Amino acid sequence: MPREITAFSNPLVKDVRALREKKGRRRQGMFIAEGLRILTEAREAGRLPAILFYAKGTNHPLLAALIAEVEAAHGDVIETNADILHKLSGKENPQTVLGVFRTWDTSLDRIDRACADLWIVAQALRDPGNLGTILRTGDAVGAGGLILVDECVDPFSVEAVRATMGALFTQTIATTGWPDFIPWLRAGEGELIGTSLNTALDYQEPRYRKPAFILVGNEAQGLPSTYEAECDTLVKIPMRGKADSLNAAVATAVMAYEVINQWRHAGNK
């Protein structure tokens, strides 16, 4: 049965609130996800929150199913109020459902590269909104997941999780450094496709091979020249206006759909 918490001084409230900060997530090995839609995506992907908070008076069949599964898994289900949910999430108008999940291993060697023909690689990605959009794009195109290279935004931050709209739970995520990524990549099959302004090759000219790893660089700096040199193919998305480059997440989507559309058309011939 759910238990009730309405006091700000409750130790659990303090612990969960601390998950809004990176040091709190690292110390506890937990993170926050908000909203019934995202938590339902997680449940359908086989991940249940260790702790489930919901606002008193919230009635929905999906919430009832979520409560039942969390309790069956011996998780903690807590009925609370909007004030507590606001304190936990930091939002003025918080969602009525909030889950606390255990973080999982994001080691590169846990990736099954054979499970998908397309992977996305982001180097020094800093914006949680871009991370969320890239994960959602990966889900939409059927990519295996996202490999974060070098110092990137924390994929388990409140802002990043919110931006993924549930794709955090449907896409594989790995974190690594460039010196480890390249040997891992070259240990198996895979074409590394870099996006850059430092090439004249139009992104629609090459015929991309399977499996493909699309590499995008930092939002402000792009890819370092040494990283570009490691790419099998370096392409440029043409810019017809005055801007010199696309947003990193938009560029990723353009590239991902170009790659899969080539494969789709080749399969129809």
Across the chain, mean pLDDT equals: 94
What confidence category does residue 245 fall into, taking pLDDT thresholds of 50, 70 and 90?
Answer: low
Domain residues for the domain of 141 are 108-268
Instruction: Quickly state the pLDDT bin for 243 (edges 50, 70, 90).
Output: low
Residue environment code for 38-71, b if the CB has 16+ CB neighbours within 10 A, otherwise e: bbbbbbeeebbbebbbbbeeeeeeebeebbeebe
Residue 144 sits in the same domain as residue 262: yes
Residues 119 and 93 in one domain: no
How much is the pTM?
0.92
pLDDT bin (cut points 50, 70, 90) of residue 267 is: confident
Is residue 264 scored above 60 in pLDDT? yes
Structure confidence by residue, pLDDT tens digits, 3-61: 899 898 999 999 999 999 999 999 999 999 999 999 999 999 999 999 999 999 999 99
| Same domain as 190, residue 161 | yes
Of 66, 87, 102, which marks where a domain is finished?
102
CB within 8 A of 50, min separation 6: which ones? 30, 75, 76, 100, 101, 102
Domain C-terminal end among 36, 70, 102: 102
CATH number for 173: 3.40.1280.10
pLDDT digits (tens, 9 = 90+) for 181-224: 999 999 999 999 999 989 999 999 999 999 999 999 998 889 99
* Tens digit of each residue's pLDDT (9 = 90 or more) over 100-125: 999 999 999 999 999 999 999 999 99
Tell me if 49 sits within 8 A of 33, measured CB to CB.
yes
pLDDT of residue 262: 96
**Among 144, 130, 124, 126, which Cα is nearest to 248's?**
130
The domain boundary residue, chosen from 102, 133, 149? 102
Q: What local confidence, expressed as pLDDT, does residue 170 receive?
A: 94
Q: Give dist(CA 81, CA 218) in Å, integer.
A: 40
> Once rounded to an integer, what is the mean pLDDT over residues 242-266?
89
